[in-house]
Chains A and B, each alone.
Chain A
Amino acid sequence: MKYVRVWVQLVHCAFSSYASNRIDAGSYFLGKLIRFGFFWLFFISLFHYTDSFAGYTKWETLLFFVTFNLVDVLGQALFRGIYLFRNDIRKGNFDCILVKPLNSLFYILSRLTDILDILFLAPLGVALWYVVIHLPPLPAASFFLYALFLFVGLVIVLGIHILSAALTIWSMESEGMIWFYRDATAIGRFPPEIFSKPIQFVFTFCLPIIVMVAFPVKMMLGALPLFWAMMGCIIALVFLIGALVSWRVSVRRYSSASS
């Protein structure tokens, strides 16, 4: 309960900050909508010239795109605090976080909630509904499995953010790591079959973006074998444990040099 109360308070603070910078907030939100709209337009335009993309129909391809946005936006909304962490290390403020009666990792990741991304979930929900009604009828279990694998995807997103925090302690320049992840996730906008096998391997086992985005979609479409579904869960778990171990090692190495 304590963590819920802290999180709600942090969301309040974030909301006040966005409400006091209305031009910035409005522009960012509009920018996100425009980015989404242009990519949507791009996919629609592709299907003016072809009727399948790597074997997927227009609406199946759009399902990959909307799911990518969903996972990305949820990660941004919940773990936005990571972008402030580099400054904490540089200025020595991490010491103050370590002495708080809270899990430091929880505070680092959730201290900033992106209200705009939470708001952006509404148009995304509409887009998802619009795509799904254009797909052939799906059994109710498909939606449950989709939601389940979205959760698995979020576990991986959490792992990547923890790994990024751990790297930030090792090297203050590693803010690039989180931006690297942001750009690497771009591959999730498209069906994984368009990429070569080695690239698919890297993004399934090393930086599991394909598990994050493509697995929920394939579960919904009934196109993911049971073996790979279980493998996806194992990959997410191993990735999260690996990230947590890296974090612990990094915190032990933290020398508080800047404070």
Chain B
Amino acid sequence: MRPYISAFRMSLSEQVTYRFGFFFARLRGLFVLVTLFFVWSAVSMKTGFFAGYSREELMTYVFGAHILRSLVFGSQSRRIASEIHDGTFSLFLVRPVNHFLFYYARELSERLLLGFFAVLEVGIIVVFFDSTFLFPSHLSVFFFVFLSVFLSHMLYYCMSYGMSMLAFWSREAMGPRFLFEWILEFLSGAFFPVSIVATNVALVFLFFALPFIYLVFMPLTIYLERVPGNQLFLSFVWQGMWIAIVAGLLRALWRRGLRAYTGEGI
């Protein structure tokens, strides 16, 4: 466990070393949050409702999505691609550490730090704009939300790690990653509840047949108590199934990738 705890600590101190950059990064996130806050305020202003959501539910969704984006979407595994390209990845092959877990430790520290700041930012915005953040009526909902967030965090990490592995075969891994990240941001519901956009059969299929809605939309729908009891269980089964599928693919990619890896650039 010691190497992973060290990786966790190192990543944490790295995050706070460049304070100016960190401050700007948080400010950027805040802009997106404030923009979405005003968009949903504007559309729900007249009646207090929009697309089947009350104004309070929409605001809670926007604030919750801001926190989840910080807790789920990570950037640490992006480094893997550049390490494969410049050959420093070879160092991991001779170290007594599991590469997947080592990077997970780095990712986890970044996520927890940013998640903490996201909660603070949401608190400030709620107070500053005199808005509402709903809380579930049953304590048990927190447990289900926690479970769903944990699973979505794992699912994202597996997908992101897999995207970086493309670097084993191509020096051009950043373009596909850019494409992946934009698809993911939209289809996960990070900007808006996907049920608002899924207005016809093709769109329903696009959103609900893919794993992305389990990253943001599903945990927040559970938080808002909009998932009936029987479907709640089913959503966890689907989340677990997607993790299993992506993890299986990762394993295959890792084996084949190591065979293709040449250590170029050392």
Contact = CB atoms under 8 A, between A and B. Distances in A.
Q: How large is the interface on A (under 10, 10 to 19, 20 to 34, 35 or more residues)?
A: 35 or more
Contacts of A194: 38-39, 41-42
A21 B178 contact: no
Given A23-B172, A45-B196, A53-B43, A28 B178 contact: yes
A91 interface: no
A23 B176 contact: yes
Contacts of A46: 43, 196
A50 B43 contact: yes
A49 interface: yes
B137 interface: no
Contacts of A49: 43, 50-51, 196
A174 B22 CA distance: 10
A54 to B, nearest CB: 5
A37 to B, nearest CB: 9
Given A174-B20, A196-B38, A180 B28 contact: yes
B182 interface: yes
Contacts of A34: 179, 182-183, 186
Interface in A69-113: none
Given A31-B182, A194-B41, A176 B20 contact: yes
Contact of A35 (B43, B170, B171, B182): B182
Interface stretch (A182-190, A211-219, A223-231): A182-190
A176 B21 CA distance: 6
Interface residues of B, number: 40
B25 A176 contact: yes
B205 interface: no
B197 A186 contact: no
B175 A27 contact: yes
B230 interface: no
Interface string A166-210: 000001011111011011101101100111100100000000000
B197 A27 contact: no
**Among B34, B38, B51, B177: residue with most chain A CB under 10 A:** B38
A38 interface: yes
Contact of A41 (B41, B178, B197): B197
A26 interface: yes
A31 B183 CA distance: 8
Contacts of A241: none
Given A176-B24, A179-B28, A180-B24, A27 B38 contact: no
A252 interface: no
A173 B18 contact: yes
A216 B217 CA distance: 36
A42 B176 contact: no
**Among B23, B51, B178: residue with most chain A CB under 10 A:** B178
B202 to A, nearest CB: 11
Interface in B68-104: none
B133 interface: no
A163 to B, nearest CB: 14
Contacts of B203: 41
Contacts of B21: 173, 175-176
3 A-B pairs closest in CB distance: A176-B24, A27-B175, A24-B175
15 contacts: A23-B170, A28-B175, A34-B186, A41-B197, A45-B196, A173-B20, A174-B20, A176-B23, A176-B24, A182-B28, A183-B28, A184-B28, A187-B31, A189-B35, A199-B38
Interface of A: 21-28, 30-31, 34-35, 38, 41-42, 45-46, 48-50, 53-54, 171, 173-177, 179-180, 182-184, 186-187, 189-190, 193-196, 199
Given A25-B175, A174-B24, A180-B28, 15 more contacts: A21-B171, A24-B174, A27-B172, A28-B178, A28-B179, A30-B179, A34-B186, A38-B186, A49-B51, A49-B196, A50-B43, A50-B50, A176-B23, A190-B38, A194-B38
